Chains A and B, each alone.
Chain A
Amino acid sequence: MSRRIWDIPGGIHPAENKQQSLQSGIIAANIPTELIIPIQQHIGAPGKPCVEVGDNVLKGQVIAGANGFVSVPTHAPTSGEVTAIESRPVQHPSQIDGLCIVIKTDGDDQWVNHSAINDYQSQERSYIIDAIRQAGIAGMGGAGFPSAIKLGIRPDTKIEQLLLNSAECEPYITADDSLIQERADEVIAGLKIMQWLVQPQETLIGIEDNKPNAIAALKQATADSNIEVVVVPTKYPSGGEKQLIYLLTGKEVASGGLPSDVGVICQNTGTAYAINRAIHYGEPLISRITTVTGDAITNKGNYEVLLGTPVSTLLSQADAKFDKTSRLIMGGPMMGFSIHNAAVPIVKVTNCLLAPTKKEIPEPDAEQACIRCGSCTQVCPAGLLPQQLYWFSKSNELEKAQHFNLADCIECGACSFVCPSNIPLVQYYRFSKGQIRKQEAETKKADQARERFEFRQARLEKEDREKEEKRKARAEAAAKKQAAKKAATAENTAASESGSTVSAGTESTGNTATTKLKSTWASATKRWKDAEKALKVAEKNGNDHIDALQKKVGQLKAKADNAKSLYDEAKLANAENADSSSSTSNLTTPITPEQPITPQQPATPPTNDPMQVLKQASADDFNTWKAAQQKVQEAEATPSDGVDIELLRKVEAEAKEKSVASKTAMKEARAKEKEAMQAKKAVEDPTKQLKLDAAITRTKAKKALKALESLGEDHASYGALKTAYEKAHTAAENAELALKAAEEA
Chain B
Amino acid sequence: MREPRDYDDIPGTYVFDAEQYRKGYHLNMFCMSLNKVESRDQFRKDEAAYLDRFPMTAEQRQAVLDRDWLQMLRLGGNIYYTYKIAASDGLSFQHVGAAMSGGGGMSLAEFRQMMLDGGRPIDGNRSRGEQRYG
Q: Do A and B come from one complex?
A: no
User: Which of A's residues lie within 8 Å of B, judged by CB?
Assistant: none
User: Which of B's residues lie within 8 Å of A, judged by CB?
Assistant: none
